Chain A
Amino acid sequence: NAGVTQTPKFQVLKTGQSMTLQCAQDMNHEYMSWYRQDPGMGLRLIHYSVGAGITDQGEVPNGYNVSRSTTEDFPLRLLSAAPSQTSVYFCASSSRVANYGYTFGSGTRLTVV
């Protein structure tokens, strides 16, 4: 049981480049979320999904896209990377059966130069 798997663990991008951060869970969780973590800011919600085919914006969605074509996968796309998107990104999943306790991936450390 792998839980929540994020790839890559580290990434350096040039300003303007695009990329996709991958997130997969094998727990059949209906809820999935993407957060970014910046010093002193806690974890801020980027996008979330309550099930396959359903996504919604969080607190800081600008510059990011998501899709949820399957229950297992929830990729985060950076459309045109900016230095302000330098951060640590976490994917998490949860379910009603698990009393909404979220399981987190190990994170992706992204640097935009």
Chain B
Amino acid sequence: AQSVTQLGSHVSVSEGALVLLRCNYSSSVPPYLFWYVQYPNQGLQLLLKYTTGATLVKGINGFEAEFKKSETSFHLTKPSAHMSDAAEYFCAVTSGNTPLVFGKGTRLSVIA
């Protein structure tokens, strides 16, 4: 069975500071990995995904993530936080023909 662990249910950063949201996964087969963002009272929007190939993946709004197989990690980063980045972020994994399995989410707060 696949699983996702997101370290830190709440992360707070200053505007302009580095954003780092951690995600570790468990999968017995090559994974497809995703980061989704959810703004208050809205649905989930895909930020970026890793399928195969290049391990550094760039997404929308300046976010990127690096797939590290040896560490079973897929951490999300952004060099400079903006107030508009405040939201909840979810990491998720699938093997392809299995449902998407989510972590419990990390709420990002950005302090002016």
Contact = CB atoms under 8 A, between A and B. Distances in A.
A97 to B, nearest CB: 12
Interface stretch (A66-74, A77-85, A100-108): A100-108
B97 A43 contact: no
A27 B49 CA distance: 19
Nearest to A105: B43
B49 A99 contact: yes
B34 A90 contact: no
B100 A102 contact: yes
Contact of B90 (A40, A43, A99): A43
Size class of the contact patch on chain A: 20 to 34
B44 A42 contact: no
Contacts, number: 54
Contacts of B42: 106
Interface stretch (B14-22, B73-81, B102-110): B102-110
A33 B100 contact: yes
Nearest to B4: A42
Contact of B104 (A40, A101, A104): A40
B52 to A, nearest CB: 9
Given A101-B34, A105-B43, 7 more contacts: A42-B104, A45-B100, A50-B97, A90-B44, A92-B44, A100-B32, A103-B46
Interface of A: 31, 33, 35, 40-45, 48, 50, 58, 90, 92, 94, 96, 99-107
Interface of B: 9, 32, 34, 36, 42-46, 49, 51, 90, 92, 94, 96-97, 99-105
